[in-house]
A and B are shown apart, each in its own frame.
Chain A
Amino acid sequence: MEYILKNGTVYDPTNNIDGEKKDVMFKDGKIVDNVSSNAKELDVTDKIVMAAGVDPHSHIAGPKLVVGRLYRPEDSRKGIVPKTDVTRAETGFSIPSCPATGYRYSRMGYGTVIEAAMPPLEAKHTHEEIVAIPNIDIAALPLFGNNWFVLEYAKENNIDDLAALISKWLRLTRGYGVKIVNPGGSEAWGWGMNVHGVDDPVPYWDVTSREVIHALAEANEKLGLPHSIHLHPNDLGHPGNYETTVESMDIVKDVAKNSPVRNQTVHMTHIQYHSYAGTNWRDFESGAEDVAKFINNNDYVTCDVGQITLDETTTMTADAPMEFDLHQLNGLKWANKDIELETAAGIVPFIYSGRNSVHSVQWAIGLEMFMMVENPWQIMLTTDSPNAGPFIRYPRVISWLMSNKRRLEMIENGEVHKAVGRKSVIATLDREYDFNEIATISRAAPAKAYGFEDKGHLGVGARADIAVYDINPNTIDPSNDYEAIERAFGNAALTVKDGQILVKDGQVVSTKESQTIWTNVKGLEEKEAVLMEKIMPVFDKYYTVKYENYPVFDNYVPNPIEVNVQAGK
């Protein structure tokens, strides 16, 4: 089937197209530069055309999501939508059911989402959920930062074995890249402890976060994976943690990048939670300036924000000790999930309120990061969904980024606490994003950071993943019409995925099966075999499943997109 999108205003930062009136053509699921006269014409005059969104960090599938859904029926009841002829019923607000997740991303014009934390032991579960989510392509990042084998090899600085381990485990779990969460901290949580800062040794293992991060970054580059290490550093959510954050970024300074498809050697995730100054919750204030300064001076770093949206939500992270602290703080029901030899996770409902000074300052810190990081290719739009707010709030965040007027209005109207004025400088930052920058932070930059060469842009040969928004960029003034911006980005006029029209005027009109993106590293087969001989005695003794039953089998990944990487090339 051939299509031509006529007369749209195209924003495609990857190909340096900044608001040009231009036709976009696609055929058989790919963007092409010409189509036959049989092509179906879709008139998108005075509308914005972008590549479909790419979400670099979201929690949408896996064991901790299910715990959230299972123990929060109050959340499931919030987002109920009955079934239609096309769609299944939807439930959930902060932790939507799988079908709802797919439809809601489609309605926002998104086409690809990264599930940011997959415990290898329960990877089958994550993949079962990925299959149950329609409409979007999903890559999952397995957790490595607290894995016992990783801790051991990092201590020995044994990069060869670490690289073989990553290569093997990406295949076993059908994972995409290396996720590190509170390195050492989640292992310490096995004893109810945590680590603080990058030089605090992990109990028993006697290895520091610094060594783990450095070793994993080196191994990642040795393999030349399409994504860099994806780092959730230590001390999340602690006042004064910006120093740890800056140190963590500094650790990989000497690691040489070994991949042409991306620019960074470390991706710092939900940086908002890691940019706090002060010493306790009373003198807590923004530390965004120092973090942003470091990022501005070092182009090997990218980050996503994790913007607070001031909603009732469900926090969930593999940073389990932090979640217990949060439960002590807010007293809401605490769920925890420790996974043998690998990781841990915690879940606590949370009500972010504009009337609370801390939450409001957190809101300001996220926006400060957006304003202070100069290069939009280094900063990406996320809410660390559902931690800082559900992903359906992206359009609202976009409207805040495009309107200084709206931000000031929120501060002046008391929609956020007055502490924002004292403890952050957001009121003095009058930068406003334009549509090109929005296209960068929500599709082009994430696609680049993940090495997706056929996503996040509209060049010939790219996948026909396209979003059309009903906004006329020539007449709209986003600064004043922020509500129209939020409405348009939340209800795509058209969402196309692999050439199939999924959404029209904000309504899901057709569905398709999701695809699973994973990295298959080749060329280390022998080293992996030698490594497995070393690992197997430990595996057999201390895991409670047999190795033969451990991998994610092909039947869990019915629609794979396999990214082949030649190790070291």
Chain B
Amino acid sequence: MAYEEPIRDYDRIVENCTCAFCGCNCDDLTYLVKNEHVVGVRHACRLGASKIMEDMDQRLLVPLIRNEAGELVETDWDTALDKAAELIANSVRPVFYGWSETSIETMKQGIKLGEYVGAVLDNQATICHGPSLQAVQNSGYPVNTLGEVKNRADMIVYTGSNAMNSHPRHLARYAAFPRGYFRKKGRFDRTIVTMDPRYTDTAKMSDIWVGFNPNGDYEFYTALRAVLRGKKLKEDKVSGIPRETIEELAEAMKTTEYGCLFFGLGLTHSLAKQRNIDAGIRLIQDLNKYSKWNLIPMRGHFNVNGFNIFMSFEMGFPYGVDFSRGYPRYMNGETNTIDLLTREEVDVFMVIAADPGAHFPGGANRHLANIPVIQIDIHWGPSTELADVVLPGSFVGVEVAGTSYRMDGVPIYMKKAIDKPETCRDDEWIVRELYERVQKIKGEKIASK
């Protein structure tokens, strides 16, 4: 890597800011601000720093409406909000999707609007850690906060997760390297294990790499559990891993003092889906008979966990909550965004702080192209190409304060460091404004009857 000059040209610094990138929610960032723009970020990883510093790249700055020729044209806030409110007020099966990159405060407005019009509220869990949550509902949820790992853990397992690339500071700040209270020598006091078919960057810095076969997760974890419970494996190799290795691993996991298993989408989305996670959770439960073990799902967006927590305390269900009957329903396969879209049930789609255009399967996106889509976001993306109304929001944790929940459920208040562009609005304000305008339209409708 080429040497980079330190940034010395800045007006002021803002300390202890929280990173709005991955589920690590590192809250120790320092922003270097010049002319109300973040020109440098200290402590963050490259992913976080670039997201924060490049915030004006392809930035949505003004409200847009798609005209009859099919082009997005600039408009004023009133027109755009009225248009969006009208779409929502006249819809019969609206879906409000996203939420994982905005604040809890915005979600509060969103649930008001959703309950009022009978929408489906769903977040990115529906396409990422949804199966993990299903497994949690099957098997349990033995978790800890990241500080427990830092202070106590002498064995750390990454599985189906390449933290070095996806959550770069996870190892540095929480898991592998930091010097904890009972682990004064940091990395040297810990054994790092990566269980992954690929020899990832995380595997490269681990002490042990267990490269089981692709889609062999379930088989491997079941074998590990069997050995743990004193069974003798009949096969010489399970999922490509020699019996002796599995036995050694089981013994090591049993005799460790404190272990933590971090699992990512590699486990969640390979062949057996939630059954993989089931096996992982059961493994942790078995291990606790001998030693101390917990697990944490490696959540992607900085507030994807927040939405699940928020919906659970407001309405009892974590994601894919359907209010169309006047009470909340949660049925996987029925009330999730992808299913609703591929069945072509949805007639208005609002996406906030997410990019379905980039992530959804073709069938779902095909339907999105056919129905009105409202987008609340800060950047242009494939979803903008699908959108009929675009409402430019602001950057939580940089331009506006708000609450988020870390992957381990620790709530963090993300502070505001700079002002937002004059023509943009806060997400919370936009959704509240939509709610009020929808109420007005619906109220007029009832009055005219």
Binding site for B on A (CB under 8 A): 61, 63, 65-67, 69-73, 75-76, 80-83, 88-92, 95-99, 121-122, 124-125, 128-129, 132, 148, 189-192, 204, 324, 327-328, 333-341, 347, 541-546, 548-549, 553, 555
Contact = CB atoms under 8 A, between A and B. Distances in A.
A70 B312 contact: yes
A96 B409 CA distance: 20
Interface string B16-36: 101000000001100000000
B137 A71 contact: yes
Interface stretch (B159-167, B216-224, B323-331): B323-331
A191 B292 contact: yes
8 contacts: A82-B325, A98-B313, A190-B258, A191-B152, A328-B289, A341-B151, A541-B181, A545-B410
B136 A71 contact: yes
A76 B257 CA distance: 36
B309 A125 contact: yes
Contact of A542 (B150, B257, B411): B150
B180 A546 contact: no
A65 B316 CA distance: 10
Interface stretch (B48-56, B139-147, B429-437): B139-147
Interface in B392-413: 403, 405, 409-413
A339 B145 contact: yes
Closest 5 CB pairs of A and B: A340-B147, A76-B316, A91-B316, A192-B292, A333-B140
Given A128-B313, A544-B147, 5 more contacts: A192-B288, A338-B294, A340-B145, A541-B179, A544-B145
Nearest to A74: B137
Contact of A97 (B147, B173, B289, B316): B316
Given A65-B313, A122-B410, A341 B147 contact: yes
Contacts of A340: 144-148, 150-151
Contacts, number: 185
A557 B315 CA distance: 21
Contact of A336 (B104, B141, B181): B141
A121 B405 CA distance: 12
Contact of A338 (B141, B144, B180, B325): B144
B189 interface: no
A29 B109 CA distance: 29
B41 interface: no
Contacts of B257: 191
A170 to B, nearest CB: 19
Q: Of residues A69, A75, A98, A189, which shows the largest number of chain B Cβ atoms within 10 Å of its Cβ?
A: A69
B383 interface: no
Q: Binding site of B, secondary structure by majority: helix, strand, loop or mixed?
A: mixed
B69 to A, nearest CB: 42
A66 B312 contact: yes
B123 interface: no
A12 B240 CA distance: 74
Given A122-B410, A340-B147, A542 B181 contact: yes
Contact of A327 (B179, B285, B315, B326): B285
A121 B317 contact: no
A173 to B, nearest CB: 12
A549 B413 contact: yes
A190 B312 contact: no
Contact of B405 (A125, A148, A333): A125
A89 B309 contact: no
B258 A98 contact: no
Contacts of B409: 63, 66-67, 122, 125, 337
B15 interface: yes
A351 to B, nearest CB: 16
A37 B181 CA distance: 69
B158 interface: no
Nearest to B318: A70
B138 interface: yes
Contacts of A339: 144-145, 147-148
B263 interface: no
A477 B142 CA distance: 49
B245 interface: no
A191 B183 CA distance: 13
B74 to A, nearest CB: 34
A549 to B, nearest CB: 5
A340 to B, nearest CB: 3
Contact of B327 (A82, A122, A132, A191): A82
Nearest to A548: B16
